[in-house]
Structure 1
Amino acid sequence: MTPSSPRAQQHATRAAFFIPGFATAAWAPMVPFAKAKAGLSDASLGGLLLCLGLGSLLAMPLAGALTARLGSRRLMIATTALILLTLPLLTLAPTPLALGATLFVFGAGVGAMDCTMNMQAVAVERDAGRPMMSGFHAFYSIGGFVGAGCMTGLLVLGTPLWLASLIAVAAMLLVALLSAPHWRPQRILHDGPMLAVPHGVVLFISVLAFVVFLAEGSMLDWSAVFLAEVRQVPRDQAGAGFAVFTLAMTAMRLFGDGIVERLGRTRTIVIGGITAAAGFALATLVPSFAMALVGYVLVGLGCANIVPALFSMAGQQRAMPESIAITAVTTLGYAGILAGPAAIGALAHATSLGFAFLCVAAMLLGVAASARSLARRLP
């Protein structure tokens, strides 16, 4: 069935971004429970979280190739089903091995969905003839805020973890049923290898995306642990950190297209990188739950429009074909989520979690410093 109208396609694309944002955020408040249940240290938790990122990383180039064969709608339906099936299993995995395997499959579903929806978003934005990328990514953030907020609220009310996960699945299923008929069915041309090694400006964009996704991944997987273990916040309230981070990111991305139009992509990246770095520093160096939340807000505000700007730049460059470049940037950018949690866990084990967060702040300052050089390399 062909989507009824361009507006229906746009709304359905926003819903596609909402689903993986909701799913990954619903997992964030579950992390301290999973860590305690399995008796994991920071380093071993980081190793298990590596499974989620590894599943995403391996699924992304495969999704790029399958979109050309199956069409984006079929692939998005399949990956949504995979997400919905595995999220409840994360609460039931009895051993670290089972948890790692489930995280791998869950990550594969999220990663494949992320890659496919970004390709669809580029096509929908082009057909609309106006900037829409920040708005689409805003709905990933909306999903993150709603998912983290709902899961945290259910846990505070005493809802069993397995039941809270089923409620989350039911909400995502409803969104998918309403939007899937309007997802674009066409096969997106992918004329090239499954994963082309990025070069030139595409490699530059990929490295910056890697850093920003690493920062976002640290919020997903370690913000609740930091609040619970360093700031001594009760575990059932520790998900509030990721909730305020996603709320700030959502609010900023809702206005992101207009902000990028006024400031330009380069200044947006510079200001965003500095703001996010300041947020990490504040949350880490000031020993206060309230100040940690303020810091997470700044991280969300700063990171909000960097990734959408980088995806738009990937579509603007001419060093590689657009579809292959977007797949490469998505894959290598999301490698930050693969490497980030494990690296932070290992560094926290050797030093402290606060020091690991300060290292992320330093890398974000590097993103800000690199923006003007990147802009000079684009047509």
Structure 2
Amino acid sequence: MDEQSRKSMAVRGRWAVAAMFFINGFITGSWAPQIPVLLVRLEISRFTLGLLILLFGAGAVVAMSWCGYLIARHGSRMVLSRFAIAASFGLLLVALAPNLVLAALTMIVFGGLIGAMDVAMNTNAVVAERRLARAIMSSSHGFWSLGGFVGGGLGGLGIQTFGHLAHAAIVTAVAIAGVMLANRHLISEGQPGGTARPRFSLPRNPLIYLIGVMALFSMTPEGAVLDWAALYLQQELGADLATASLAFAAFSGVMACMRFAGDAVRNRFGAVTTLRVSAFIAATGMLGAGLAPAPWMAIACFAFCGIGIANMVPIAFSAAGNQHGISSGVGMSVVTTMGYSGILVAPSAIGFVAEHVGFSPVFIGLSGLLVIVFLMAGRVRRADFSATQPAE
């Protein structure tokens, strides 16, 4: 195969994995408007609903922790293809659950399928980055945000018009169609794992865990803004509900836009410099939000924070998939598990702390986590690419 053909395949693979990010975000975003329906349909309390959502997260984290083994053995293309097809049915399974017990089981399965697909698509994006010798991880995550926006934005209208079950069936059909189109062009690593069968074991390289800590410290503030920013603006800054809701909207909107611009920035300035500047911007924005005397100033600071946070996790993921002596799947599995654990654990811990000291000190403290990422930025040098970097 000549060089032009290889490059053409790499470009198609890049857009195929971008489609997978979009589909994963679309399914996840479509789940959000189903949540109130589940509450009413099963006649459960908010506390019970919270436990069901926690089961979704637990299923995702467990699947993420062992998905790296499957990728090392079978390759990211095969694992992504299989889990993407299975994940397309996840929302439909939850929508069909007739009682609390089956809903709990389907939530674990749904979370596990989404989590495994997440690890596999991030790993495949690393393979595409190597083939192209340039960064694509940030824009890939941008496609995830775009998919979530489409799924969440159209979901409420779909449920109101067709009912929750028909909506879930439509989401499944759309997702399967997208997966089948993308599967044909996904990039393969070649012969994963060589002739030896990989064993399930934790990496011994301590650097991968340091990168996991960076992902954790980057994703915890993101989860805090998602869960608590609106309440902070209402309770401590006196904002009305409409104004308070703009905090996460501004944060996530800016973050999505910056993710589409992030690859060009990283290709120009390198992963370390981009992460260092991003962490500084994020820490400054989070600190400003915690010190803000008025709602609109806090909203502006949260948006500024989103500029920085947007590309921090994609850079950490690229670094995780390019460590010496560790397969891309295993490295990605460790870092995604550690990172997403922050989003699952942080909300309850932050809520407990805020109940005693208020949200302002919490957001000020979270800026300290982002400063730590700033100081650790040199650990992501492996996120950069060269034309001679191997594709395996």
> TM over 0.5: same fold?
yes
Measured against aligned partners, the alpha-carbon deviations of 1:145-198 in whole angstroms (never above 9, x if no partner) come to 33333336667x787555554444444333223212222355533864424145
Verify the 8 A CA contact 2:61 2:340 in the aligned structure 1. yes
Q: For the structure 1 residues 176 and 346, does the alpha-carbon distance in structure 2 shift closer, same or farther, using more than 3 Å as the test?
A: farther
Give the letter aligned to residue 172 of structure 1: A
Give the letter aligned to residue 261 of structure 2: F
Query: 1:200: which partner in 2?
Result: 206
Q: CA deviation at 1:222?
A: 5.5
Q: For the structure 1 residues 47 and 210, does the alpha-carbon distance in structure 2 shift closer, same or farther, using more than 3 Å as the test?
A: farther
Determine if the alignment matches structure 1 residue 326 to structure 2 residue 332. Answer: yes
Query: 2:387: which partner in 1?
Result: none
Determine if the alignment matches structure 1 residue 134 to structure 2 residue 138. Answer: yes
**Which segment drifts farther, 221-230 or 305-314?**
221-230
- Residues paired across the two proteins, number: 371
Q: CA deviation at 1:210?
A: 1.4
Q: CA deviation at 1:59?
A: 0.8
CA distance in 2 between counterparts of 1:107 and 1:50 reads 9
SS of alignment partner, residue 46 of structure 2: coil
CA distance in 1 between counterparts of 2:124 and 2:179 reads 16
Query: 2:61: which partner in 1?
Result: 57
SS of alignment partner, residue 130 of structure 1: coil
Verify the 8 A CA contact 1:274 1:364 in the aligned structure 2. yes
Query: 2:375: which partner in 1?
Result: 369
SS of alignment partner, residue 87 of structure 1: helix
Alignment equivalent of 1:20, drawn from 20, 24, 46: 24
Give the letter aligned to residue 257 of structure 2: A
Query: 2:310: which partner in 1?
Result: 304
- In the superposition, the TM-score normalised over structure 1's length comes to 0.78
**Which segment drifts farther, 58-67 or 301-310?**
58-67
Q: For the structure 1 residues 144 and 162, does the alpha-carbon distance in structure 2 shift closer, same or farther, using more than 3 Å as the test?
A: same
Alignment equivalent of 1:233, drawn from 219, 241, 251: 241
Q: CA deviation at 1:138?
A: 2.4
Q: For the structure 1 residues 378 and 133, does the alpha-carbon distance in structure 2 shift closer, same or farther, using more than 3 Å as the test?
A: closer
Verify the 8 A CA contact 2:129 2:135 in the aligned structure 1. yes
CA distance in 2 between counterparts of 1:243 and 1:16 reads 24
Verify the 8 A CA contact 1:233 1:289 in the aligned structure 2. no
Query: 1:275: which partner in 2?
Result: 281
**Which segment drifts farther, 3-12 or 216-225?**
216-225
Determine if the alignment matches structure 1 residue 80 to structure 2 residue 88. Answer: no
Give the letter aligned to residue 194 of structure 1: F
Verify the 8 A CA contact 2:60 2:111 in the aligned structure 1. yes
Which protein is bigger by CA-based radius of gyration?
2
CA distance in 2 between counterparts of 1:309 and 1:64 reads 19
**Which segment drifts farther, 65-74 or 104-113?**
65-74
Query: 2:180: which partner in 1?
Result: 177
CA distance in 1 between counterparts of 2:165 and 2:86 reads 17
Give the letter aligned to residue 148 of structure 1: G
**Which segment drifts farther, 32-41 or 178-187?**
32-41
Aligned ranges for residues 11-160 of structure 1 at < 5 Å? Answer: 11-28=15-32, 38-41=44-47, 47-90=51-94, 99-151=103-155
Q: CA deviation at 1:57?
A: 1.6
Q: CA deviation at 1:132?
A: 2.4
Q: For the structure 1 residues 8 and 376, does the alpha-carbon distance in structure 2 shift closer, same or farther, using more than 3 Å as the test?
A: closer
**Which segment drifts farther, 75-84 or 24-33?**
24-33
Query: 2:390: which partner in 1?
Result: none
> Once superposed, what is the RMSD of the aligned Cα atoms?
4.1
CA distance in 2 between counterparts of 1:70 and 1:88 reads 27
Verify the 8 A CA contact 1:284 1:292 in the aligned structure 2. yes
Percent sequence identity over aligned pairs: 33
Aligned ranges for residues 218-257 of structure 1 at < 5 Å? Answer: 218-219=224-225, 233=241, 244-257=250-263
Give the letter aligned to residue 307 of structure 1: V
CA distance in 2 between counterparts of 1:359 and 1:262 reads 32
CA distance in 2 between counterparts of 1:39 and 1:348 reads 23
Q: CA deviation at 1:265?
A: 2.1
- In the superposition, the TM-score normalised over structure 2's length comes to 0.76
Give the letter aligned to residue 7 of structure 1: V
Verify the 8 A CA contact 2:244 2:295 in the aligned structure 1. no
Verify the 8 A CA contact 1:46 1:344 in the aligned structure 2. no
SS of alignment partner, residue 89 of structure 2: helix
CA distance in 1 between counterparts of 2:306 and 2:166 reads 29
**Which segment drifts farther, 9-18 or 66-75?**
66-75
SS of alignment partner, residue 182 of structure 1: coil
Q: CA deviation at 1:226?
A: 6.9
Q: Structure 1, unaligned stretches of length 5 or more? A: none
Query: 1:262: which partner in 2?
Result: 268
Measured against aligned partners, the alpha-carbon deviations of 1:25-56 in whole angstroms (never above 9, x if no partner) come to 33345556767864325xx7665443222211
Verify the 8 A CA contact 2:322 2:382 in the aligned structure 1. no
Alignment equivalent of 1:8, drawn from 5, 12, 25: 12
Q: Structure 2, unaligned stretches of length 5 or more? A: 1-5, 385-392
Q: For the structure 1 residues 167 and 298, does the alpha-carbon distance in structure 2 shift closer, same or farther, using more than 3 Å as the test?
A: farther
